[in-house]
Amino acid sequence: MAIESKSKFSVNEATVTVAGTAIQLPDISVGEACDLVIKAKRTNRGAIKIGESATQAQAGKFTMEPGEAVKLCISNANKVYADAEVSGDKVEIIVEQ
């Protein structure tokens, strides 16, 4: 069975305003058979930590240095929380819809 090409994608950004206080990523649906890609912005000054809860993100069990990315096969970006070592650092989000 062939996977159909998607007709659009969404690019977003989220800022961790206060280091040590995880944020929930925005409500962005992920298309069927597509991945959510989260990237630590290249201009960040520290690592980004992600998890499936605020507590998990703050614990830093999965970290990305500036410019690193991860793809997740999940249904919505809002299932991910991000924290930062440095206040004001950002994550970039891209997803086919």
Q: Is the dihedral of CA 58, 66, 91, 72 positive or negative?
A: negative
Decide: residue 35, CB within 10 A, 0-12 exposed, 13-18 middle, 19+ buried. Answer: middle
64 is a domain residue: yes
Closest CA to 21 of 75, 88, 95, 77: 88
90 is a domain residue: yes
| This prediction's pTM | 0.91
Domain ranges, residue 47: 9-96
- pLDDT tens for the chain, residues 1 to 97: 566 667 788 999 999 999 999 999 999 999 888 899 999 999 999 999 999 999 999 999 999 999 999 999 999 999 999 999 999 999 999 998 7
**What's the pLDDT score for residue 8?**
84
Report the domain count for the chain.
Answer: 1
4 is a domain residue: no
**What's the pLDDT score for residue 97?**
77
CB atoms within 10 A of CB 88: 13
Q: What is the CATH number of the domain that holds 31?
A: 2.60.120
Q: Please state the separation of Cα 59 from the chain's center in Å.
A: 16
35 is a domain residue: yes
